[in-house]
Each structure stands twice: as C-alpha cells, then as structure tokens.
C-alpha cells in the first residue's frame, strides 16, 4: 500500500501547477468573498482530486496491470481512501490558515473553527459518496451517479416536506434542539458521523472492487 500511496503523491506532484492556481484563486477570492470561502473551496477540490488518481489508474487498462502487482484489491481501495483523507486534510488546513490570516478579528476563532470542521465534513462526505460510484461505474458514469444521488436526496426531502407536513415539524424540532447546543459540539458530532460514513463507504468500495472484472 505504501507504493500505491507514493504513486498517487507523484500524480499530485505532476499537477503542482493546478494546486498552485487553486491556492492563488483561494487567496484572491477569499479576500473579496468573505469568510469561509477558502476553506470550502480548497477542501472540496482536494477531496475530489482522489477521483483524478482513479482515472489515471483506469486509463489504458491500468487496473489490469495494477492487479498483477503483489497487492490485494482491498489494499488498493484502502489506499485511495487514505490518500483522499490526507489530501482533504491538506486542503482544509490551507483553507483554514488563509481564513485566519484574512479574518482580521472580524469573526471569532471559534466560529471559524466550527465552520472549517463543517467544511471538512462536507468534503469527506462528497468523497464517501463519489468513490463507490466511480469504482462501480467508472469515472464518467460515476460522476453522473454522484449528481443523481445528490439530486435524489434533495428531491425526496422536498417531496416529504410537501406531502407530509409533519416531516417539516419534526425537522423544525430537530433544528430547535440543535440550536440549544454549542456549535463546537454540533460540528464535531457531524464530523464523527461523516467519518463513520467514510469508513462504511470504504467497505462498500472494497466489496465492489473484489467483484469487479478487468
């Protein structure tokens, strides 16, 4: 798995101009767009970069070659999730640092930290949904499935709100209860839930890869 991780780091190094442009854009847009922009921008794009490494592996029957190496399929999947986690944390750290520098005491450090943890949860959640789709259907179809799942979730939520009035009341009650809790508690709880989902997603992807034919 160490060799796979080094391979993906080399792929990322080959795209260093892309990351430099991301960083410059994050700094520039953060200065004009207000708080939290750089965190969400860098975290989300770094989280999605792991999909780029999968596409490199898929290219020109690359999977067939990789699986001839002394690695197991589950190790390949675990490395992708580990690499995605490291890269997402890297983007999150840079974004949070930029926000603290640009903040100039306009927003409290606690608020920035809580917002950054929420953004980290969103980035990891996106990767947790996207990776099984890509492993199952390939990069192109996987992207469509990802957006289809996102649209389906919003559609179901909208339908329940219109068709079941009680659902809106339940949602309002949950929001009211959460508002009585500390924001730091809520943000860390959300992160723990997303990390749990991330691990479940990894197990799902392992099953997909073990059944996949190349």
% of the chain beyond a pLDDT of 70: 73
CB 23 within 8 A of CB 103: no
More confident residue, 121 or 32: 121
Per-residue pLDDT of 158-189, as tens digits, reads 555 555 555 455 545 554 555 555 677 778 88
Q: Any idea how long the chain is?
A: 214
Give me the mean pLDDT over the 4-18 stretch: 84
Per-residue pLDDT of 19-65, as tens digits, reads 888 888 877 777 776 556 778 888 888 888 888 888 887 776 767 77
pLDDT at 145 over 70: no
Q: How far is residue 139's CA from residue 135's CA, in Å, rounded to a whole number?
A: 8
């Amino acid at each position: 798995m160490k060799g796979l991780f080094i391979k993906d780091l080399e792929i990322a190094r080959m795209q260093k101009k892309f990351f430099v442009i991301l960083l410059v854009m994050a700094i520039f847009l953060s200065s004009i767009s207000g708080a939290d922009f750089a965190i969400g921008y860098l975290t989300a794009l770094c989280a999605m970069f792991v999909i780029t490494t999968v596409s490199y592996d898929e290219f020109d029957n690359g999977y067939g070659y990789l699986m001839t190496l002394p690695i197991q399929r589950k190790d390949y999947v675990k490395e992708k999730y580990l690499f995605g986690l490291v890269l997402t944390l890297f983007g999150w750290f840079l974004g949070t640092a930029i926000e603290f520098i640009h903040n100039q005491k306009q927003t409290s450090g606690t608020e920035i930290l809580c917002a950054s943890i929420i953004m980290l949860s969103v980035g990891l959640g996106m990767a947790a949904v996207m990776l099984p789709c890509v492993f199952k259907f390939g990069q192109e179809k996987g992207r469509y499935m990802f957006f289809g799942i996102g649209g389906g979730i919003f559609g179901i939520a909208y339908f329940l709100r219109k068709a079941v009035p009680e659902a809106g009341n339940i949602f309002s009650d949950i929001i009211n209860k959460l508002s009585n809790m500390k924001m730091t508690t809520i943000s860390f709880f959300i992160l723990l839930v997303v990390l749990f989902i991330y691990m479940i997603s990894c197990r799902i992807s392992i099953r997909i890869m073990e059944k996949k034919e190349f």
